[in-house]
Amino acid sequence: MTINLDWGIFLQESPTGDGPYWTMLATGLQWTLATALTGWAIALLVGSIVGVLRTVPYRPLALLGDAYVEVFRNIPLLVQLFFWFFVWPELLPAEIGRWMKQDMPYPEFITAALGLGWFTAARVAEQVKSGILSLPRGQKNAALALGFSLPQTYRLVILPQAFRVVIPPLTSEFMNIFKNSAAALAIGLTELTFQMKQMVEYSNEVIVSIAAATVLYMMLAFAVNRGMAWLEKKARVPGMIGGGR
Amino acid sequence: MKALLPLALALSVLGTAHAEELTGTLKKIKDSGRIVVGVRDASQPFSFLVGNKQYVGYSVDLCNKIVDQVQKELKLKSLDVVYQPVTSQTRIPLMQNGTIDLECGSTTNSVERQKQVAFGVNMFWVNVRMAVKANSGIKSVADLNGKPVVTTTGTTSDRYIKQHEKGKNIDVKNLYGKDHDESFLMVETDRAAAFVMDDTLLAAKIAASKNPKDFVVIGEVLSGEPYGIMLRKDDPQFKKLVDSTLTAVYKSPEIEKIYAKWFTSPIPPKGVNLNMPMSDKMKDMLKNPSDKGI
């Protein structure tokens, strides 16, 4: 029962004719990076808007924001990706559905980035909302009393503070989006986990292939973690939360 | 004659194996009183789950012959048979670490895999072809130029598309399904023009679909592959038992019956008939059993 580990496998040619095995993993890494970063940009934008909506003093807008978070946070990511990829095009008018399935460029990538972005946006919205609510009420009232309009109050007083408060929990979400991007293999995106599975199939070096993917994911998450820590330090305001250290 | 066959087989195996000490898998089975058989949940008609508890199929039937032979050979009064579900990713590691003793699924016997595990004499021959919608007008690989073609992740089929692309100067867009059901769904919903896979699997998916008449298996044979029953590497005693049991089945009329049961008769759970008579290549293979990989 000896297990054969061939660590030199990465330099061997893969039988698909795409070059050595490490290039398979490198291609996967590129798609993982592209999907996670695009998804993160969407998540930050949509999540911030929804998070702000949930705190504004207009009930219909706040309810709309709540509804978004409940829907996107309570359905498993895998089910959401399946829905956008397989179900949504069938619900649209036939012409548009056919375009989505056959002519849309990079259908797996676009579906994965949007699906991942919308899913993570619900979680970002929750963080942004709690960041805003964590500020003393006096901040908002003082700004309004000084004659700022509500949008100005948010833009100049509340959000700059709230975003600083939520950098640590957002770091976790940013790391999560890299790990969650692996779910996109279910709709055929050739990302890192997908390529790992292909490599397992062709080389039969199961343990070596999984170890390589594990290390790559860890490096990605660690880089994000360090990057966000740097951002947190850069954005620190002396006298504010954690800024006095 | 039929009654003599198992006897002759038992004698031939006993004659050699009993002269020496038990080693490897046979020793493990004798000591523990149980054999663990790796099976698949949805590899119709080779190895699949019916009614949430019973594993059946062509490979499972062959494996049961081996299990019976093991019990006879080891003179065990009772032998505990445990069916352990495996996937295409887990089957090799679970074999190597000793979790399963035999794997009865739809595993291609390849030279690369033989570096990690061993195979009994090949048990089936599949041809890699493609399934398309009957009204698509696609007749061969050449018609696929510029079209999306799907295959399943973790299988060896995508390399054949790539190899044929080069030979024919065509350019296809490769899509990947998570499993065979999803790949088939891509053809059903027009996301992909063709699904490239082992012909038996394609036939099974078409037979189980809502409108089997909408789909056809067409085009040239992209590749042929032998399926084998997997066992641990460097275990000559067990391999000998597996090979001689399978060879005896192949040389007897039993194989015809087992084949007909799964490929030319209605199979559970829906009672569809795959209607796939035995290919000449497969007949040859059964006449001259070998464990040569591709």
The 10s digit of each residue's pLDDT in B71-94 is: 999 999 999 999 999 988 789 989
Are the C-beta atoms of residues B199 and B129 closer than 8 Å to each other? yes
**B243 and B274, same domain (yes or no):** yes
Contact yes or no for B189 and A1 at CB 8 A: no
Model pTM score: 0.74
**Over residues B268-275, mean pLDDT:** 84
CATH number at residue B149: 3.40.190.10
* Cross-chain CB nearest to B154 (options A1, A89, A197): A197
**B75 and B113, same domain (yes or no):** yes
Instruction: Give the integer Cα–Cα distance in Å for A73 and A114.
Output: 15
**B34 and B121, same domain (yes or no):** yes
On whether any CB of chain A is under 8 Å from the CB of B167, the answer is no
**B269 and B167, same domain (yes or no):** no
Are the C-beta atoms of residues B145 and B264 closer than 8 Å to each other? no
**B87 and B233, same domain (yes or no):** yes
Contact yes or no for A1 and B153 at CB 8 A: no
Instruction: Give the integer Cα–Cα distance in Å for B58 and B45.
Output: 6
Q: Among residues 145-164 of chain B, which lie with CB inside 8 Å of chain A?
A: 148, 150, 153-156, 158-159, 162-163
Q: Is the confidence at residue B3, as pLDDT, over 60?
A: no
Contact yes or no for B154 and A200 at CB 8 A: yes
Indicate which of A14, A95, A99, A206 best probes the interface with B, i.e. most B CBs within 10 Å of its own CB: A206
Cα dihedral: B52, B57, B61, B67 (round 10): -50
Location of structure tokens 């292909």:
A198
CATH pick for A29-234 out of 1.10.10.10, 3.30.230.10, 1.10.3720.10, 1.10.357.10: 1.10.3720.10
CA distances from A245 to A41, A239, B244 (A): 30, 9, 76
Are the C-beta atoms of residues B238 and B166 closer than 8 Å to each other? no
User: Is B133 contained in some domain?
Assistant: yes
> Which pLDDT tens digit goes with each residue over A136-187?
989 999 999 999 999 999 999 999 999 999 999 999 999 999 999 999 988 9
Contact yes or no for B92 and A206 at CB 8 A: yes
User: Is B294 contained in some domain?
Assistant: no
On whether any CB of chain B is under 8 Å from the CB of A201, the answer is yes
User: Is B292 contained in some domain?
Assistant: no
User: Is B34 contained in some domain?
Assistant: yes
Contact yes or no for B156 and A98 at CB 8 A: no
User: Is B109 contained in some domain?
Assistant: yes
The domain locations on chain A are 29-234
Q: Determine what percent of chain B is predicted with pLDDT higher than 90.
A: 54
Say if strands B34-39 and B102-108 run parallel, antiparallel, or are unpaired. parallel
Residue A63's pLDDT is 96
Instruction: Give the integer Cα–Cα distance in Å for A21 and A25.
Output: 7
**B17 and B115, same domain (yes or no):** yes
User: Is B272 contained in some domain?
Assistant: yes
Q: Where in the sequence is the domain holding B134, given as residue range(s)?
A: 127-224
User: Is B293 contained in some domain?
Assistant: no
Phi/psi region, residue A217 (left: phi>0; alpha: psi -120 to 50; beta: rest), is alpha
Which amino acid is residue A55, in one-letter code? T
Q: Which residues of chain B have a CB within 8 Å of the CB of A196?
A: none
Location of structure tokens 């004499």:
B121
Of B194, B224, B254, which one is at a domain's C-terminal end?
B224
**B116 and B10, same domain (yes or no):** yes
> Which pLDDT tens digit goes with each residue over A69-126?
999 999 999 999 999 999 999 999 999 998 888 888 899 999 999 999 999 999 999 9
Of B224, B243, B264, which one is at a domain's C-terminal end?
B224
* Cross-chain CB nearest to A204 (options B113, B163, B189): B113
Contact yes or no for A185 and B178 at CB 8 A: yes
* Interface confidence: ipTM more than 0.90: no
